[in-house]
Structure 1
């Protein structure tokens, strides 16, 4: 097997992360009550299983997979996002005696898992010499990016992820300091 040491270790870490994500998504799906959230988690879990199986298959038999770049379509336009703070609810750790996650907590956990997985996939891809492993890890980063955004949309629509804003004048002053060359 012609994998380099960094490559093998990075793939090992990503596969461990995928197993954890797949297991957590099943737990979240079992405990969620909102059908939309359950569907979202189920789709994300199925995608994670396919990605895990693809990477495992390639590490066992390098002819098993020829990855292609993954493309996702986003249906939301920037106009669909709710901006501004609307009395955000206080946040605190869960009372461990409850033993049950609630939908907002589940959505937040799934969002954070996808954000971290996207970062980890991207960082791992930078250590890979094999172009197919590299592409599979890039695909994983892209998939997690889009899935994180889907969770953000779910949360934003329900007021669970509010987007702070600043005055238009401040934003323009801040960003218009950059000029084309």
Structure 2
């Protein structure tokens, strides 16, 4: 079963991205100081390897592999720390041989966010339903892992969540109203 030119290029880009993620995450795992971050990186490397190998296996022999979805990091609204609390100024660190844990976590978060977007975009361009599903699963995996990294950073004050006045947020969001039950896409019920 040959692939279309467009999906071949998309899968090539995703495999290249995954290869880079695995290499970078492996380097970060060696440099990080926090054992919790190291363990998280180890798990994320394993899931990236699994996704990478699954795509390669399918593109080599066209046999669908079962994708194992990792559970999303459990978090509740009350677990997130909202508001800005004296964020410290930051600037790029130049000329250092070692990254600190905050920089590592930020780089991992950016990699996951970009990979989630790139894999979903690639999935939308694929005709092969198995490749498409593998890319969607990879996108969801990266989104879940990005959320886990966000939580890690948020609890350390490294990723603060700005807020707006409660009244302003409600006014903006309550502008939208629900569609009454029984409404069928603009068709009245008498037309049925």
Q: Equivalents in 2 of 1:144, 1:73: separation in Å?
A: 10
Q: 2:154 aligns with which of 142, 153, 156?
A: 156
Q: Which has the larger radius of gyration?
A: 2
- Partner of residue 129, structure 1: 127
Structure 1 residue aligned with 2:8: 8
Instruction: Supply the distance in 1 between the matched residues of 2:20 and 2:105 (Cα, whole angstroms).
Output: 16
Residue number in structure 2 paired with 1:86: 85
Q: Does 1:103 align with 2:101?
A: yes
Is it true that 1:116 corresponds to 2:86 in the alignment? Answer: no
Residue 19 of structure 1 corresponds to which residue in structure 2? 19
Whether 1:143 aligns to 2:141 is: yes
Indicate if the aligned counterparts of 1:67 and 1:132 stay in contact, CA closer than 8 A: no
What root-mean-square deviation, in Å, do the aligned CA atoms of Structure 1 and Structure 2 show?
Answer: 1.2
Residue 71 of structure 1, CA deviation: 5.9
Q: 1:174: how far off?
A: 1.0
* Structure 1 residue runs without a partner (length 5+): none
Aligned equivalent of 1:55? 55
How many residue pairs are counted as aligned between the two chains? 179
SS of corresponding position for 1:101: coil
Report the secondary structure of 2:55's partner residue: helix
Runs of at least 5 residues in structure 2 that lack an aligned partner in the other structure: 180-192
Partners of 2:40 and 2:153 in 1: CA distance:
12
The corresponding residue for 2:30 is 30
Distance in 2 of aligned mates of 1:75 and 1:93: 32
C-alpha distance in structure 2 between counterparts of 1:2 and 1:67, whole Å = 21
Aligned-residue offset at 1:30:
0.6
* TM-score, with length taken from structure 1: 0.95
Q: How far did residue 35 of structure 1 move?
A: 0.3
How far did 1:150 drift?
0.1
TM-score by length of 2: 0.90
- Cα 1:71–1:24 shift into 2, 3 Å: closer
Aligned equivalent of 2:185: none
CA distance in 2, matches of 1:69, 1:46: 12
Q: Which moved more, 1:86-95 or 1:110-119?
A: 86-95
